[in-house]
Structure 1
């Protein structure tokens, strides 16, 4: 059992060290994002306490990177990577808040901690259950059961930390924007995305049901609801960023 646990720890440690998923990162390093997103990403990281030495580059998914089919952006210890094609369609506030969100992940090094939590769950769950079940060898298979429980604990730890880090990134990132209009635009964009996805998946006949399901899935994943985003916009009151200050001045 000790050998099995040791091998499993090594495997999970290697996953943690490589910070999977890290799809196409070698190719992505050669593809910096557009200047607009470089500036927004640097500003977001600076607001959240990053220095010039710790600031991550803003990259874009490669043309043939399959990750962009289901991700708007992702962060690991090497870079913040965005789906530039989707970013180009978004309102300014949604772009800025998304990069604030990703910068929170960078601030707490969530990509490593997420897999670290899985490793901890495996060790605690696997070793603990093995020692407990060893007392009842006639009824259980301690090695097999401990191994299975360890992987289940690793999975649950991964899910728990993932949910926690997304909620923290959403909340801290949107407040860090210090702009009620940015957050309002982000909430509106989120609402539009939810509506469009609901129509695609369920059709207009089951639209109300679909919207409820998608909103619930969003919250289960740890992201803030549209109501919660609207509340943050309200909490920020009259605060606006330079972009929206200029926009108001031009009206």
Structure 2
């Protein structure tokens, strides 16, 4: 595996993963899929990581899967398993994730951004579910993510026409959380990641899971899940810490530590 295709850096409890194939607009090849799998697995298993930022080098976020060498050898299902494993790792990551999008985010690259919890882009960013132009159908979770984010009709528009849309349109559709000036995006994402990392880790992880599961569950199931989550939260040190901080008119410090002997 080429170690430099994915740059990993840590700022205390925030992990930033930067796709680093700028000569291909960060299109993802086999080495980059493997590196993403390795880093996301490590982030999932490291309690010191409290937030993850995914970005791209060289003025682009990600141009999707790298098709420049044609169809890779081996059975297509095996190749798709590697793609799907990364999508699942990102989707089930217990900590908040942010996509920092500059330049193009197309195909699996756009769905990589949509797989994050929050998306921050510059006004110049461009997005496309480009699969149809390549004779392909949606992957990296796009068939699940898009209808839940924009509704079935708009999802079909994006998938079937494979249009390129700008950041303003993506924001209007709810596919970008914030559009930030290029001179301000670094500071904005740094501040956002720090705020997320300072949150109660167990409670945030459960809220993420509840929201995701709630998209396909009944109201009764959602209420039962919320009750289980609050029971766990009240057994950590974070809820009492938040109550004390509120009473003392100060900001709480969250650790996620289990508080019941």
Answer whether TM exceeds 0.5 for this pair.
no
TM-score by length of 2: 0.27
Point out the structure with the larger helix share.
1
Higher RCO (C-alpha 8 Å, min separation 6): 1
| CA radius of gyration, larger in | 1
TM-score by length of 1: 0.28
Point out the structure with the larger strand share.
2
